[in-house]
Structure 1
Amino acid sequence: MDGRRVHVIERDLAEPDRIVGELLQPGGYLKLIELGLQDCVEEIDSQRVYGYALFKDGKDTRLSYPLEKFHSDVSGRSFHNGRFIQRMREKAASLPNVQLEQGTVTSLLEENGTIKGVQYKTKTGQELTAYAPLTIVCDGCFSNLRRSLCIPKVDVPSCFVGLVLENCNLPYANHGHVVLADPSPILFYPISSTEVRCLVDVPGQKVPSISNGEMAKYLKTVVAPQIPPQIYDSFVAAVDKGNIRTMPNRSMPAAPHPTPGALLMGDAFNMRHPLTGGGMTVALSDIVVLRDLLKPLRDLNDSVTLCKYLESFYTLRKPVASTINTLAG
C-alpha cells in the first residue's frame, strides 16, 4: 500500500485445504481493518464469533468477547482457511506494484553475511533468482529457510485430530466451544453456515492410527461420551464418514538471529499451541508493527542500518504476541 514494489513467491497458489487457521479472533479482525483487508472475510460464508462456551463435568458457561466499545462489525470470524487465503491473494495480486508468482524458494542468497534475495524454482522447473533489499521469510511451521535466521527449537506437545460436522446445531450459536475433557480439550466452531469444525487435542506425538480403525475407535469410545449431547449424533456421523485428519501442534519461541537483508515472520518465526486460535492474530499484529516501522523509510538498501532499526520489531510485537503465546501455553 506504500507504493513499494513487492515480489511474492508462493509455493502453491491453489486453494489450501487445512484444518488450522480457521478462526480469527476479534483482535485479529481489528488488525485486518488496520490493513484495509477486512473484505477478505466477506463472500466466503464466514461466520461471526462472539465468544466462547466452556463445558466441564456436565456443566457449561458462556464467555463473551468484550466488544461493547467497538463498531458492531467487530467480532471474531471463522471460515474455511483456504477461502480466506485466496481472498488475501486476490487482494495482493490486484495491486499494481505486487507481482504474485508460483515458485518454490530453494535457498536464500547470501553475500558477506547479508541476505540479497532468493533462489527459486518456477512451476516449469526453471531456476531463477530474485533480488531485494529486504526479504521477508514466511514459509510456515515446516520452514526450510529459517535455519540461519533463528534458533528453530520446536516443541510438539500434542496433535489435533480434525473432523467436519455437517448440519449440526451447536449449543451456543456463533461461539467457539471448548470441552475441558479427559485427557485434553476438544474444540468446536462453525466454519460455514452448514459445517462445524471439531478439533480433538490428543496429547503426545503418537496418535492412534487412522488406517487401521484405531482412531475411529478412540473418537467413539473416549471422546464422544464427553461432548455435549446435542452434537453427539453429528460427531459420530462425522467419524463414520471417515474424513479424519491429523496435524501436530507446535510451539516455538521467537528466538531470532537478526540478519541484514532478511526478516522472519509468521509460524516460521514464532508459534504457539493453536488451542486458543491466536495464530492469525499474532501474524496480522506483527504485519501491522512491521508496516508502521517501514512506513517512514523510503530506501531499504542500507541493510546493516535497516537490520539494527528492525530489531525494535521484536520489542514492539511483544505486548500482543507474548500475551497470546502465554494464554495458548
Structure 2
Amino acid sequence: MVALGSVIAILLGFALFYGLKGKKKSIDSSMKSSENRTCKSDSGKSTDIIIVGAGIAGSALAYTLGKDGRRVHVVERDLRQPDRIVGELLQPGGYLKLVELGLEDCVSDIDAQNVYGYALYKGGKSTKLSYPLGSFNSNVAGRSFHHGRFVQRMREKAASLPNVRMEQGTVTSLLERNGTIKGVEYKTKTGEKHTAYAPQSPHCSMRWLLFKFVEIPSCFVGLALENCKLPFENHGHVVLAEPSPILFYPISSTEIRCLVDIPGQKVPSVSNGEMAQYLKTVIAPQVHFFCK
C-alpha cells in the first residue's frame, strides 16, 4: 500500500500540473482580478505567482507557468539534492505528461532506466505483466531513477527560465487579506526574514496533501544493490512475501533498488545488528532466486 501510495502521489502530482496548465484562462482571470496590479516582495522584485516547495510538483508548476510568461518565485527549504527512496518509478502515463509539459529531458540525462512492466512472484510461481504500449511511440515507457537526481534536474529546468526565481528559504507563515492568501513570510538560509506577495501562492507539497492524516501501517527499508541483474530486464519486480511485499527495480545502469516493507512503526535497529539479522533470516531466503 505504501508503494502504491508513492506511485499515486507522483501521478496525481502530474495530473495537478497538467490540470493547472489547462486552466490557464482561469488563472489569468484570477490574477487580473487581484487588485489589477503587480505584487512585489520587500526586495522590490515583482512576482505573479509564489510557489512554496520545489519538489516534483512545485518545479513542474514553476516551469509550466514560467514558460507561459509568468514571473514565478519559488521558495524551497532545502535546494540540495534530496536523498529519498520514494517516487523512483514513474509510470508511462507520468512520462507522457512530462512530454506534454516539455520536461521529458529531465529523465534523459540522469541514467534513468526504461521500465516496460512488472514481474510478480508468489509461492514459487511467477508471471510477467507488460504495459499496454503497443499504440505508442517506442520511447514511451515507465522510467526508474534516483529520486534526488530527478528532482534536481526538474529544479534546474525551472530555474533555467529567466522569469523563474528559485530561492532557498523556509516559509514561516502565509499572509492573508480578506480571507485570501496574498503572499508568504519566509526566512532565508542565512536567517534573514522576508515577505513576498503575489496574486497566486500555491502550496506544492503532495506528501502533505495526500498523507497528512494517514496512519503509518509500515515502513520501507531501502537497499541499493550494485552490479546485480533482475530475472526480467527493465521490469519492476514484486515479491508477495511474508510478512509483506518486497520490491525490486533498476534506478541506474548499475544499481537495483530493493525495498523491504516492514510492518509496524518500529524499524529494526541498524546499530545493534537487528536490521541485518532481519534481512538475512526473514527476507533473503524468500528472494534467493534474484541472486545472479
Residue 113 of structure 1 and its aligned partner are, at CA, apart by 1.7
Q: Which residue of 2 aligns with 1:37?
A: 103
Q: Which residue of 1 aligns with 2:219?
A: 159
Q: Which residue of 2 aligns with 1:293?
A: none
Local SS of the residue matching 2:202:
strand
Aligned length: 226
Q: Which residue of 2 aligns with 1:73?
A: 139
Tell me the TM-score normalised to structure 1 length. Answer: 0.66
Q: Distance in 1 between matches of 2:203 and 2:71?
A: 16
Local SS of the residue matching 1:107:
strand
Spell out structure 1 runs of 4+ moving beyond 3 A. Answer: none
Q: Distance in 1 between matches of 2:82 and 2:223?
A: 17
Residue 24 of structure 1 and its aligned partner are, at CA, apart by 0.5
Q: Distance in 1 between matches of 2:218 and 2:212?
A: 18
| Percent identity between the two aligned chains | 74
Which amino acid is the alignment partner of residue 172 of structure 1? Answer: F
Q: 2:258 aligns with which of 172, 177, 198?
A: 198
Q: Which residue of 2 aligns with 1:212?
A: 272
Question: After superposition, what is the alpha-carbon deviation per residue over 1:125-163, rounded to whole angstroms, capped at 9, x for unaligned?
Answer: 10001111111102353x5xx7xxx99422212110110
Tell me the TM-score normalised to structure 2 length. Answer: 0.74
Q: 1:9 aligns with which of 61, 70, 75?
A: 75
Residue 228 of structure 1 and its aligned partner are, at CA, apart by 4.2
Which amino acid is the alignment partner of residue 49 of structure 1? Answer: V
Residue 101 of structure 1 and its aligned partner are, at CA, apart by 0.8
Residue 82 of structure 1 and its aligned partner are, at CA, apart by 1.1
RMSD: 1.6
Unmatched tracts of structure 2, length 5 or more: 1-66
Q: Which residue of 2 aligns with 1:229?
A: 289
Residue 202 of structure 1 and its aligned partner are, at CA, apart by 0.9
Unmatched tracts of structure 1, length 5 or more: 234-329
Q: Distance in 2 between matches of 1:109 and 1:83?
A: 33
Local SS of the residue matching 2:282:
helix
Local SS of the residue matching 2:161:
coil
Which amino acid is the alignment partner of residue 153 of structure 1? Answer: F
Q: Distance in 1 between matches of 2:141 and 2:68?
A: 28
1:168-183 equivalent positions in 2, closer than 5 A: 168-183=228-243
Local SS of the residue matching 2:217:
strand
Which amino acid is the alignment partner of residue 137 of structure 2? Answer: H
Q: Which residue of 1 aligns with 2:120?
A: 54
Q: 1:20 aligns with which of 80, 86, 91?
A: 86
Residues 152 and 45 of structure 1: CA distance in aligned 2, closer, same or farther (over 3 Å): closer
Q: Distance in 2 between matches of 1:3 and 1:43?
A: 26
Q: Which residue of 2 aligns with 1:272?
A: none
Which amino acid is the alignment partner of residue 181 of structure 1? Answer: A
Q: Distance in 2 between matches of 1:207 and 1:163?
A: 14
Q: 2:191 aligns with which of 85, 104, 125?
A: 125
Which amino acid is the alignment partner of residue 69 of structure 2? Answer: G
